[in-house]
Amino acid sequence: MTDSNMPDSAEERVSLEQRGHVLIIRMERNRKRNAIDSLMTQSLDAALNRLDDDPDLRCGVLVGGEQAFSAGTDLADGPGEPTDRGGPYGVIRRRRHTPLIAAVEGIAYGGGFEVVLACDMVAAAKSAQFGLPEVARGVIPTCGGLFRPWQSLPLTVAKQLVLTGQPMSAPRAYELGIVNVLAEDGDALEAALTLADQVCQNSPFAVSTSLSVMNDVLEDEEKLGWSSTEQATERVLVSEDRQEGVAAFLEKRTPQWLGR
């Protein structure tokens, strides 16, 4: 269902459903493979604000569509400005104290994968795929994709994801530790809800405190990653390859790289 408390502009992007102490946040832009535009950013920010601010909520589950969790940034319209509490997409740099689980069916590419990496746990369907294809567009991952994969993956595998732009299957991601639970196709949400129920059986205060400590430590470790990414992004944004890559993607043609 669509929550009546969401602003009108957000209703077309995200729906909310509360099951007990669990908030299901469902991205609803399936015709665009849940590409993140400014309205999606606002929608996700509002939903996650509620997750952290409502004392009755003990866990959240973020889910996309059957074919795509999210294809990342909407290259035509852009993702809008980072939000005060959530940063990019309203998700990526949020200081959450309520656990968030990603339920992934289909593709999680680019920013969509970076949203997954910003969650605390992941349940994925066997046919799901994770990827960072930015280099094929003449850009780079800007929302943690250059350093967060290392928290779960061997460094060589993380570099393979970034430098080749080729996707990783859910079974491989499960084997390497990015995915907590591997589900049959169509069952990722139920698998995520099982994890959420396990979280909700525990002391909310102990869970919140534990999550806060772990996230504080990770935030300290990520400071260099964020500053280096920001510097690299400034260089890439003015490059001719970036202009060519985005144009080629929108025009559905092979890019002609200039290397500058």
Verdict on whether the full-model pTM lies above 0.85: yes
Number of domains in the chain: 2
Give the active site residue among 114, 219, 221, 244: 114
Residue 109: C-alpha distances to residues 92, 115, 118, 126, 215 (Å) = 15, 9, 14, 16, 24
Q: Is residue 51 part of a domain?
A: yes
Give the active site residue among 134, 175, 222, 251: 134
The CA angle 144-245-89, to the nearest 5 degrees, is 35
37-63 residue pLDDT tens? 999 999 999 999 999 999 999 999 999
Residue 7 has pLDDT above 90, yes or no: no
Q: Is 114 a catalytic residue?
A: yes
Residues 42 and 80 in one domain: yes
Taking the C-alpha atoms of residue 120 and residue 122, their distance in angstroms, rounded to an integer, is: 7
Contacts of 88 (CB under 8 A, 6+ apart): 41, 79, 82, 111, 142, 143
- The answer to whether 240 and 260 have CB atoms below 8 angstroms apart is yes
Residues 62 and 145 in one domain: yes
CATH number assigned to the domain comprising residue 73: 3.90.226.10
State the sign of the Cα–Cα–Cα–Cα dihedral 169, 171, 177, 181.
positive
Q: Is residue 86 part of a domain?
A: yes
Residues 62 and 151 in one domain: yes
Residues 100 and 20 in one domain: yes
Residue 8 has pLDDT above 80, yes or no: no
Q: Is residue 220 part of a domain?
A: yes
Residues 245 and 174 in one domain: no
Of the chain, the percentage scoring pLDDT greater than 70 comes to 96
Residues 91 and 152 in one domain: yes
Amino acid at 204: P
Q: Is residue 193 part of a domain?
A: no
Residue 232 has pLDDT above 70, yes or no: yes
For 147, the domain range is 8-186
